[in-house]
Amino acid sequence: MIIVLKPEATKKQVTHIVEKIRELGLKPMVSEGVERTIIGVIGPEDILRVQPLEVFPGVEKVMPVLKPYKLVSREFKPQSSVVSIGDVKVGGKKLVMMAGPCSVESLQMLQQTAKAVKQAGAQILRGGAFKPRTSPYSFQGLGEEGLKYLHEAAKSTGLKIITELMDPRDIALFEKYSDIIQIGARNMQNFALLKEAGQSDKPILLKRGLSATISEFLLAAEYILSQGNFNVILCERGIRAFEDQTRFTLDLQAVPVIKKLSHLPVVVDPSHATGQWDLVGPMAKAAIAAGADGLMIEVHPNPEAALSDGPQSLLPEKFVALVKELKKVATAVGRTL
């Protein structure tokens, strides 16, 4: 249920309604818009039949949310959300660029990559320290050491850090070393992890599951918001389809579809979607044209020797050239990069 308040509703009236909702055993979620405040009500809504909220001063209307997801929906929050990571904003006119190696392999390679992507114009350094690998025999990441290297690289370049959390027990470490916590495609429906992320005050980037529908993706995000963390960025990274020429199939339709359904910012990862470095550029351009709020791109100083995802990683000089191209596409669609 959504309670839409009148534009002139006072703070006191909002507090009164919020208290009333709590008394009824329901959970209020307040969203303060530019023009008016909206209160989402989570819980068994039948209770509201005996206590209609329309009668409270300041209330304009009470509407059911027809979609299964509530807090992530545009019905709940009509204006697009902007997630702030310090001075970096995701969801505004300026596109955000997240770039870096698939895995953190050493401090030296990370510093080298960080410097290069910063110079090219990236604001956020990506790199996995705890890696979700299909085979238990593949490189699993450097663990806490990798997080420390990311922190070092951030200090020396001024870049923000995004890195993947796989185990809820590690959250304190991630809160210490990272700026954005990534939840990977394979963990999109790890509900314990989603709930933990929802209780963190760090922004969360949630990747779409390999076989997840958009509805399932948005419901996974709802888990995070329902715990109180509204700083969520969604990431389309390709889904499983019958085509096998590429690693996954980048569902670019998901970008405008999600933007219609949800207020959350959406970024696109063409590296994991295509699995091939020479396809990253074309799909990155297409993602910007489709309305993405940013990109996540894998860059490695020596892809041939990469411990994971070498074939899809761009050489730093290729990344520099691509960003130049992407700036033109951004301008063409009224954005900046």
Would you tell me which residues interact with Mn ion (CB under 5 A)?
Answer: 102, 309
207 binds, among ligand PEP, Mn ion, none (CB under 5 to 8 A by kind): ligand PEP
Of the candidates 128, 198, 294, 301, which one interacts with ligand PEP according to CB under 6 A?
128
CA distance linking residue 86 with residue 180, whole number of Å: 11
Sort residue 75 into left (φ over 0), alpha (ψ -120 to 50) or beta: alpha
Stretch of residues binding ligand PEP (CB under 6 A), selected from 58-66, 78-86, 137-145, 178-186: 178-186
Report the alpha-carbon angle 30-200-168, nearest 5. 135
Stretch of residues binding ligand PEP (CB under 6 A), selected from 78-86, 117-125, 184-192, 223-231: 184-192
**Residue tagged 């700036």 (tokens):** 327
- Residue closer to Mn ion (CB basis): 102 or 165: 102
Using CB under 6 A as the binding rule, whether residue 236 contacts ligand PEP is answered as: no
Using CB under 6 A as the binding rule, whether residue 300 contacts ligand PEP is answered as: no
**Which residue's CB comes closest to ligand PEP?**
184
Of the candidates 5, 9, 99, 164, which one interacts with ligand PEP according to CB under 6 A?
164
Using CB under 6 A as the binding rule, whether residue 247 contacts ligand PEP is answered as: no
**Positive or negative: CA dihedral 278, 280, 284, 290:** positive
Using CB under 6 A as the binding rule, whether residue 100 contacts ligand PEP is answered as: no
Using CB under 6 A as the binding rule, whether residue 211 contacts ligand PEP is answered as: no
**Minimum distance from CB of 126 to Mn ion (Å)?**
9
**Minimum distance from CB of 64 to ligand PEP (Å)?**
34
Using CB under 6 A as the binding rule, whether residue 237 contacts ligand PEP is answered as: yes
**Positive or negative: CA dihedral 210, 216, 219, 223:** negative
Sequence-distant (≥ 6) Cβ neighbours of residue 252 within 8 angstroms: 236, 268, 283, 286, 287, 290
237 binds, among Mn ion, ligand PEP, none (CB under 5 to 8 A by kind): ligand PEP
**Minimum distance from CB of 91 to ligand PEP (Å)?**
20
Contacts with ligand PEP by CB under 6 A: the residue count is: 11
- Residue closer to Mn ion (CB basis): 9 or 235: 235
- Residue closer to ligand PEP (CB basis): 21 or 197: 197
Stretch of residues binding ligand PEP (CB under 6 A), selected from 11-19, 113-121, 136-144, 181-189: 181-189
Decide: residue 207, CB within 10 A, 0-12 exposed, 13-18 middle, 19+ buried: buried
Distances (CA, A) of 80 to 24, 73, 75, 76, 300: 30, 10, 11, 11, 33
* DSSP annotation of 242: S
185 binds, among ligand PEP, Mn ion, none (CB under 5 to 8 A by kind): ligand PEP
**Minimum distance from CB of 272 to ligand PEP (Å)?**
4
Closest by alpha carbon to 118, among 164, 154, 162? Answer: 154
CA distance linking residue 218 with residue 258, whole number of Å: 8
Distances (CA, A) of 304 to 21, 200, 241, 308: 58, 37, 28, 10
Of the candidates 52, 57, 68, 132, which one interacts with ligand PEP according to CB under 6 A?
132
**Residue tagged 């070498």 (tokens):** 310
168: phi then psi, degrees, rounded to nearest 5 = -55, -25
Q: Which residues bind ligand PEP (CB under 6 A)?
A: 102, 128, 132, 164, 184-186, 207, 237, 269, 272
